[in-house]
């Protein structure tokens, strides 16, 4: 019997040792994506969003934050904080996160939306997002963020803590309402997600140098709470309820009740352990300002190369990384086809079994780089539709085509990228019938995309179907209320329909959006001329000329208006200026009925002969 008991005891000890060893080898990990943007490419910059992100990143790596492995936390700051780099990081999380892992997603920056639709209800604005038309790319749709987060919970069985310090400004395309709608979308209940949000809908998330030498007030106090100041029952654990109370006590007091954070989730859960050394340091010495280390704007998620022994593969991967940095991504024509690029290296390693550990990460890096590069030209097209370099447009279409060709329909963002490829193909398509087919397919994917509606308006305008053109331009201005080309074209369609007063309002909006522009004033002048209100038209032409002194048509039309007012002296001055800028106006003036009364006038003849 003693021998049997000894044997059973040995079995139990072996089982316990095996269980503990297995638990350690499969222990839960802290993972995450930390993103902060102060310096934006196209929208107003912020002060301390990048510092706040760095502070939170450093917290996660510290004993107080659980000493996360640096390779498990993706840091994206400023120019690296693009939506495409964010989605690349989220794809990596979907692959890496395991059951029980704690996944932090932290964002500090702008939140906005231009018009809420069923498909989209808010955006977190990435570094290279356009100043309007956020659906055109460069931003993180709240809807897509929710899909990623809920997948991490349902499929990966991970715990997700979403921390958003956004809505820092109302000076964006959507104004105060845009920030409010985004905040409302983030506040909505998502399945199993813990959310810690910087403010309520209708509020702004404040930042200033009076918190920690420069920080957002929400992140500043949230970190203090997580490090132990929120631990009111002194059990060395900070619960979500305790953190919520701590934020409610401090943030409104510091902001004169202008900002109240929002905490959503199971308030009974513990979300931080108190590290005594960090806690005592917090009590006994003031914190200095967070400084960004030089040349660090991204970190984490490095590819594991330890299993690759083939030196040629490792060297090829080094070249691939260099090509990603220098944007040597693809060959654009037959002359470049033999040139080595990031794509050619990826294709050469794609079927190599030993390269399997790096192929997925190479695909994601290339996909992200292609979209980041194409977004720059897309933004230019949005702002300069009539002046964008056609060669750049064709190159961009090829970049997006490459992106769609290296993924399949199982890829998480496949429909988004396919939509963009179809849309871009329609932009460079010269055949009207083919363009319509492409745009109709885009409409099936997303009928509320402003650019698709705009392009359909352009298509109908080219066919002189002004009623249909107006319909689509009107819808575009609803969806993207601060995109000036849409208001411009809507106004022109209204002129064709002889709805002059409505057209004037459209050009007033163009002027409001781009006060430095001249064309809105010019078109307003034309409308007043059509209405025979020549004094008003001259004032508008003067505004256009003030902004662009070499604007030939404004000088010429101003001369026409003075002619119809029978003001010969001013008419000759304006006409002379238009002829100096373009001698062809001599011949035009000879035949123009607006100058009919002066055709036999000696001074007029002398000017145009």
- Tokens representing 479 are 């969806």
Q: What are residue 164's DSSP bridge partners?
A: 107, 197
Sign of the torsion formed by the C-alpha atoms of 186, 191, 195 and 200 = positive
The percent of residues above 90 in pLDDT, for the chain, comes to 63
Query: What's the pLDDT at 213?
Result: 87
Query: What's the pLDDT at 523?
Result: 96
Residues 6+ apart with CB under 8 A from 153: 159, 160, 191, 192, 193
CA distance linking residue 473 with residue 502, whole number of Å? 13
Length of the chain: 609
Name which of 116-125, 264-273, 323-332, 539-548 the model is least confident about: 116-125
CA distance linking residue 365 with residue 369, whole number of Å? 6
User: Would you call 216 helix, strand, or coil by DSSP?
Assistant: strand
554-559: long-range contacts, CB 8 A cutoff, minimum separation 24: 554/518, 554/522, 554/525, 555/581, 556/585, 556/588, 556/589, 557/522, 557/525, 557/526, 557/529, 558/525, 559/589, 559/595
- Evaluate if residue 285 carries a pLDDT over 90: no
Place of tokens 């992100």: 53
Of 192, 256, 263, 251, the C-alpha closest to 218 is 251
CA distance linking residue 327 with residue 371, whole number of Å? 11
Which domains does the chain possess? 27-214+259-265 (3.40.50.1460), 311-399 (no CATH), 466-608 (1.25.40.10)
Q: Kindly report, residue by residue over 323-365, the tens digit of the pLDDT.
A: 999 999 999 887 878 899 999 999 999 989 999 889 999 999 9
Average pLDDT, the chain: 87
Query: What's the pLDDT at 16?
Result: 38
Distances (CA, A) of 592 to 162, 309, 532, 533, 572: 66, 80, 16, 19, 14
CA distance linking residue 166 with residue 204, whole number of Å? 8
Helices (H), 201-239: 217-224
What is the gyration radius of the CA atoms in the chain, in angstroms?
30
Query: What's the pLDDT at 8?
Result: 40
* Helix orientation angle between 342-350 and 356-383, rounded to the nearest 10 degrees: 150
| Residue pair 182/142 in contact by the 8 Å Cβ criterion | yes
Mean pLDDT of 175-198: 69
CA distance linking residue 119 with residue 599, whole number of Å? 61
Query: What's the pLDDT at 482?
Result: 85
What confidence category does residue 118 fall into, taking pLDDT thresholds of 50, 70 and 90? very low
Residues 6+ apart with CB under 8 A from 430: none
CA distance linking residue 212 with residue 232, whole number of Å? 23
User: CB burial class (10 A; 0-12, 13-18, 19+) of residue 607?
Assistant: middle
Q: Kindly report, residue by residue over 14-66, the tens digit of the pLDDT.
A: 333 333 434 334 468 999 999 999 999 988 899 999 999 999 999 999 999 99
CA distance linking residue 342 with residue 344, whole number of Å? 6
Residues 6+ apart with CB under 8 A from 128: 41, 42, 79, 82, 138, 372, 375, 376, 379
Which of the listed ranges 10-19, 127-136, 361-370 does the model predict with the highest average pLDDT? 361-370
Query: What's the pLDDT at 2?
Result: 45
Of 79, 86, 118, the C-alpha closest to 105 is 86
- Evaluate if residue 132 carries a pLDDT over 60: yes
Q: Kindly report, residue by residue over 189-208, the tens digit of the pLDDT.
A: 677 889 999 888 777 888 98
Query: What's the pLDDT at 575?
Result: 95
What confidence category does residue 176 fall into, taking pLDDT thresholds of 50, 70 and 90? low
If one compares 287 and 260, the residue with the highest pLDDT of the two is: 260
Q: Kindly report, residue by residue over 376-434, the tens digit of the pLDDT.
A: 888 888 877 767 778 888 889 999 999 999 999 988 889 889 999 999 999 889 999 99
Mean pLDDT of 243-254: 95
Q: Kindly report, residue by residue over 429-465, the tens digit of the pLDDT.
A: 999 999 999 999 999 998 988 999 999 999 999 999 9
Of 180, 166, 69, 170, the C-alpha closest to 116 is 180
Backbone angles phi, psi at 405, to 5 degrees: -80, -20
CA distance linking residue 330 with residue 321, whole number of Å? 13
- Tokens representing 128 are 């290279």
């Amino acid at each position: 019997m003693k021998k049997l008991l000894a044997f059973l005891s040995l079995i139990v000890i072996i089982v316990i040792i095996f269980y503990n060893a297995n638990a350690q080898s499969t222990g839960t990990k802290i993972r995450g994506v930390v993103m902060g943007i102060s310096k934006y490419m196209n929208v107003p910059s912020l002060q301390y969003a990048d510092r706040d992100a760095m502070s939170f990143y450093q917290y996660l790596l510290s004993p107080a934050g659980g000493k996360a492995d640096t390779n498990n936390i993706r840091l994206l700051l400023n120019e690296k904080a693009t939506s495409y780099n964010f989605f690349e990081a989220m794809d990596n999380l979907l692959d890496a996160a395991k059951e029980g892992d704690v996944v932090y997603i932290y964002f500090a920056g702008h939140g906005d939306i231009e018009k809420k639709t069923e498909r989209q209800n808010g955006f977190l604005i990435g570094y290279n997002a356009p100043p309007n038309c956020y659906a055109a790319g460069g931003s993180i749709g709240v809807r897509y963020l929710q899909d990623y987060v809920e997948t991490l919970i349902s499929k990966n069985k991970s715990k997700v803590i979403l921390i958003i310090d956004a809505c820092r400004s109302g000076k964006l395309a959507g104004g105060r309402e845009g920030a409010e709608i985004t905040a409302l979308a983030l506040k909505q209940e998502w399945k199993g997600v813990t959310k810690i949000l910087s403010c309520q809908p209708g509020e702004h998330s404040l930042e200033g140098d009076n918190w920690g030498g420069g920080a957002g007030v929400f992140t500043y106090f949230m970190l203090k709470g997580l490090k132990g100041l929120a631990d009111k029952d002194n059990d060395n654990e900070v619960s979500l309820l305790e953190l919520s109370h701590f934020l409610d006590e401090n943030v409104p007091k510091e902001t004169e009740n202008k900002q109240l954070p929002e905490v959503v989730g199971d308030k009974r859960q513990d979300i931080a352990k108190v590290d005594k050394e960090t806690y005592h340091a917090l009590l006994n010495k003031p914190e200095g300002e967070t400084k960004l280390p030089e040349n660090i704007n991204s970190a984490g998620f490095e590819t594991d190369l330890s299993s690759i022994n083939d030196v040629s593969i490792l060297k090829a991967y080094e070249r691939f990384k260099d090509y990603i940095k220098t944007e040597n991504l693809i060959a654009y024509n037959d002359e470049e086809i033999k040139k080595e690029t990031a794509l050619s290296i990826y294709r050469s390693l794609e079927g190599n079994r030993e390269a399997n550990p790096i192929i997925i990460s190479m695909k994601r890096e290339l996909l992200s780089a292609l979209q980041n590069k194409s977004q720059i030209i897309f933004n230019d097209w949005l702002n300069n539709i009539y002046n964008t370099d056609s060669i750049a447009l064709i190159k961009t279409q090829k970049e997006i085509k490459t992106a769609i060709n290296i993924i399949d329909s199982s890829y998480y963002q496949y429909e988004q990228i396919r939509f963009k490829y179809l849309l871009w193909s329609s932009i460079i398509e010269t055949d009207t019938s083919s363009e319509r087919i492409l745009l109709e397919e885009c409409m099936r994917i997303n009928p509320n995309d402003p650019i698709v509606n705009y392009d359909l308006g352009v298509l109908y305008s080219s066919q002189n179907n002004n009623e249909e053109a107006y319909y689509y331009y009107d819808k575009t201005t609803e969806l993207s209320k601060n995109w000036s080309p849409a208001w411009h074209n809507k106004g022109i369609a209204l002129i064709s329909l002889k709805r002059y007063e409505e057209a004037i309002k459209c050009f007033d909006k163009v002027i409001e959006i781009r006060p430095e522009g001249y064309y809105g004033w010019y078109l307003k002048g034309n409308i007043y001329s059509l209405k025979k209100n020549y004094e008003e038209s001259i004032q508008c032409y003067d505004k256009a000329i003030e902004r662009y002194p070499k604007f030939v048509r404004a000088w010429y039309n101003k001369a026409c208006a003075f002619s119809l007012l029978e003001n010969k002296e001013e008419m000759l001055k304006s006409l002379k200026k238009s002829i100096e800028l373009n001698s062809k106006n001599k011949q035009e003036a000879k035949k123009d009925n607006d100058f009919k009364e002066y055709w036999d006038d000696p001074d007029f003849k002398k000017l145009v002969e």
